[in-house]
Structure 1
């Protein structure tokens, strides 16, 4: 089970709320384990310990259930303010997120289902990616203004390059890479666009990524 799903199960809630939580947790876990196409209402019911009728009273179909499970896991993220003071801190956070196997599986499952279940990726972007994309553009724009990129670099292109690098990493690199290795990869990609970090970055203490909250911004 995912860390988020496990943390959602708290004692003392009314029975109906416990069923809601169990169903959403089971749906998310099965999505990560098997993918959208191989997840069924019957499997979710068995995993959650409820009947199929209980699920259908809450959700019209499997797609609606999976959409709600994705929204629920990112609900807290949508409330917290997000900004990065510089590229280095942004990459710290991205690397923390991408070093977690569960996060990587989530992204691969959503992109792998885009032809048959496009609503799932759209939900992820709406609930998780849009705000982070804005923060990413602002961070890149400040770095260009501060001379960390060549002045002719286009912020939108830089964002596309960085997000493309994230997708490549998800497909080509092992899930066992740690945050330092992921950050090294992303930094190397940015350096090919002309990025030169400030000299004092090497002297600044390292900060761990914020894991689930940070996220691969616009991916």
Structure 2
């Protein structure tokens, strides 16, 4: 599921205008937070009219979620599936700290308080973005348990929460960033302190 509205009658849509709108919304979220991002402000930043934005997005929440997915480069249902949990954490480290992903890091830091301050946005984001991503993480962890790399009685939801919490800790304790390697080492160290067994065996 995407957050983009079906095409509406009128002139053909421009892919460059789509990019400009999403980039404007993403960068405004980083600069001023969710409270400061409105349709009018996004339209002005993108150099388009208010109706141009509304032809694409029915409301502010829909626009903001689409902009977040644009910044992450994947729709949630299009995320590639890693071969295992270690590869998944390496991908996370790259998303957090690679220089070309600076926008992602800044956006994640801005989004952290959203659940408390913007419950309507948080509920939509959880349904359209967080839960599809969590479903992928659960599939990865289920495969690891089947391989014997996690004990059969492992509560996979707890492991998922531990790994997600590690991302939050890394971001909040290193707001200016580290290196990809440092982030990867931290996430893998957290994994090592669960009951994960790198070589796997029957339990």
TM-score using structure 1 length:
0.68
**Larger RCO (CA under 8 A, 6+ residues apart):** 1
- Partner SS state of residue 37, structure 1: helix
Structure 1 residues 94, 47: closer, same or farther in 2, change over 3 A? Answer: same
* Deviation (angstroms), 1:96: 1.3
In proportion to residue count, which structure has more helix? 2
RMSD: 3.1
CA distance in 2, matches of 1:83, 1:134: 11
CA distance in 2, matches of 1:190, 1:48: 42
Q: Is 1:96 matched with 2:94? A: yes
TM-score using structure 2 length:
0.73
Unaligned runs of 5+ in 1: 1-12, 200-219
Partner of residue 50 from structure 1, selected from 25, 48, 51: 48
CA distance in 2, matches of 1:42, 1:81: 31
* Deviation (angstroms), 1:73: 5.0
* Deviation (angstroms), 1:53: 5.5
Question: How many residues are treated as equivalent by the alignment?
Answer: 187
* Deviation (angstroms), 1:59: 5.1
Correspondences of 1:29-178 after superposition (within 5 Å): 29-52=27-50, 54-55=52-53, 61-70=59-68, 72-73=70-71, 76-78=74-76, 80=78, 82-99=80-97, 100-178=101-179
Unaligned runs of 5+ in 2: 1-10
Worse-matched range after superposition: 118-127 or 101-110: 118-127
Worse-matched range after superposition: 151-160 or 178-187: 151-160
* Deviation (angstroms), 1:182: 1.0
